Amino acid sequence: MLDPSSLVSVVICNYNYAQFVGAAIESALALDWPRVEVIVVDDGSTDGSRSVIEGYAPRASMVTQSNSGQATAAKAGFARSRGDVVIFLDADDLLDPRLIRVMAPHWNARVSKVQFQMRTIDAEGRALGSVFPQYYRVPSPAQTRQWTLKANAYPTPPGSGNAYSRTFLDRVMCDVDTVDRFADSALLAAAPLLGDVVTIPQPLVSYRVHGRNDGAMLALDPRRFAREWLRARRRFHYGSSVARSAGLDPRNDAFAHDLASLAYRAASWRLAPADHPVRDDSGGSILADAARAVSVPQGHSLASRSAMLAWLAFVCLAPRSAATRMLQWRFVPSTRPKRLRQFMAALSIARMH
């Protein structure tokens, strides 16, 4: 259990989010916990963000740097922090005041991170009605580790939905900007391999969808899928290296079993073949890998994995216009018909045991 005397650090990385960063800071300051420090790293903003951040002094500390990217900003914030627990809060997201209180009973010396569900909100903070990740069953730390070793995948929220132990971060923060321009790539890959990932199936973070996010799409961007696939491959290579250094045995073909990466690969191949990063790829090779991936547990029910295989088959084999519509429904949630949303929710109903 997390001792009430433990310090919690919230590191907020901001770049040109003057519209949102104040609300993010307020949500961090409102955490119901005796000891919280808030550090805001401004990564060379040009939109007035610094004036907003300065308005919260001395309750929040500001670190400034020239524009160097989110991973570098996270490293700078971590270097300034002193907390036993560290949360990297995106400047457009919000923390629930109960988050630390809910997490505290689950904390122990083996934890690398505790992860929470996230609820989606729009630019004005209105609920959009979805919660992610969804869990077929709430995974144990051992299951999360095995899924990572076998399929390079486990159900996880992005950056703001995670609280990390300082012990874990001391081992990996030196790597974050060498793996990707976003710190969570390295952190999410390494966490199951260097400690226990504890999952709390409760939405305690709000994820804002507003069109400028890196993670959320309001419209299809064909070239983005190649970038996402390449990012996933870098995470896999880094995670494999971390696993071997920890005496674990990752599967060499684990990346080919990652259904999320296969979705990016199929979208890239279908929508932007000139930029596709997999040489001599084809719909047949994608589906062959997908057929093998369905048999590999990675945190989703068999029905959900089978539905993903059917979706990939449609994307690879259907006429381009129909495939594009299917890709839009998958990657731009706001475009999904109501019945499709209901069907997807039925496939991913969590069994909370």
The secondary structure of 263-275 as a DSSP string is: HHHHHHHHH-GGG
Determine which helix (DSSP H) or strand (DSSP E) holds 68, and give its type and residue range.
none
Determine which helix (DSSP H) or strand (DSSP E) holds 9, and give its type and residue range.
strand 8-14
- Residue 351: pLDDT over 50: no
pLDDT of residue 332: 80
pLDDT of residue 218: 60
Q: Which of helix, strand or coil describes residue 194?
A: coil
* Mean pLDDT, rounded, for 42-55: 97
pLDDT of residue 46: 96
Residues 74, 77, 82, 85, Cα dihedral to 10°: -30
* Mean pLDDT, rounded, for 273-282: 95
pLDDT of residue 212: 65
pLDDT of residue 217: 59
- In the chain, DSSP finds a helix count (H) and a strand count (E) of 14, 9
pLDDT bin (cut points 50, 70, 90) of residue 350 is very low
The conformation of residue 295, written as its DSSP 8-state character, comes to T
Residue labelled with tokens 């919690």: 8
Rounded Cα distance between 275 and 224, Å, is: 10
Rounded Cα distance between 216 and 119, Å, is: 13
Question: Using CA of residue 104, residue 107, residue 112, residue 115, what is the dihedral sign?
Answer: negative
Residue 281 phi/psi, 5° resolution?
-75, 160
**What b/e sequence results for 278-305 when a residue is b if at least 16 CB atoms lie within 10 Å of its CB, and e otherwise?**
eeeeebeebbebbeebbebbbbbbeebb
* Mean pLDDT, rounded, for 306-325: 95
* 168-197 per-position pLDDT tens digit: 999 999 999 999 999 999 999 999 999 999
| Low-confidence winner among 34-43, 59-68, 123-132, 171-180 (lowest mean pLDDT) | 123-132
How much is the mean pLDDT over the chain? 93
pLDDT bin (cut points 50, 70, 90) of residue 353 is very low
Q: Which of helix, strand or coil describes residue 219?
A: coil
Higher confidence at residue 213 or residue 322? Answer: 322
pLDDT bin (cut points 50, 70, 90) of residue 129 is confident
Rounded Cα distance between 73 and 81, Å, is: 12
pLDDT bin (cut points 50, 70, 90) of residue 90 is very high
Residue 324 phi/psi, 5° resolution?
-65, -40
Residues 101, 141, 95, 126, Cα dihedral to 10°: -120
* 52-70 per-position pLDDT tens digit: 999 999 999 999 999 999 9
- Residue 323: pLDDT over 50: yes
Determine if the peptide bond prior to 133 is cis (ω within 30°): yes
pLDDT bin (cut points 50, 70, 90) of residue 345 is low
pLDDT bin (cut points 50, 70, 90) of residue 352 is very low
Rounded Cα distance between 93 and 184, Å, is: 15
Rounded Cα distance between 282 and 266, Å, is: 9
Rounded Cα distance between 232 and 83, Å, is: 29
pLDDT of residue 344: 65
| Low-confidence winner among 59-63, 99-103, 329-333 (lowest mean pLDDT) | 329-333
Alpha helices in the chain (DSSP H): 18-29, 49-54, 70-80, 99-103, 141-151, 166-172, 176-179, 184-190, 224-245, 259-271, 283-293, 302-317, 320-331, 338-347
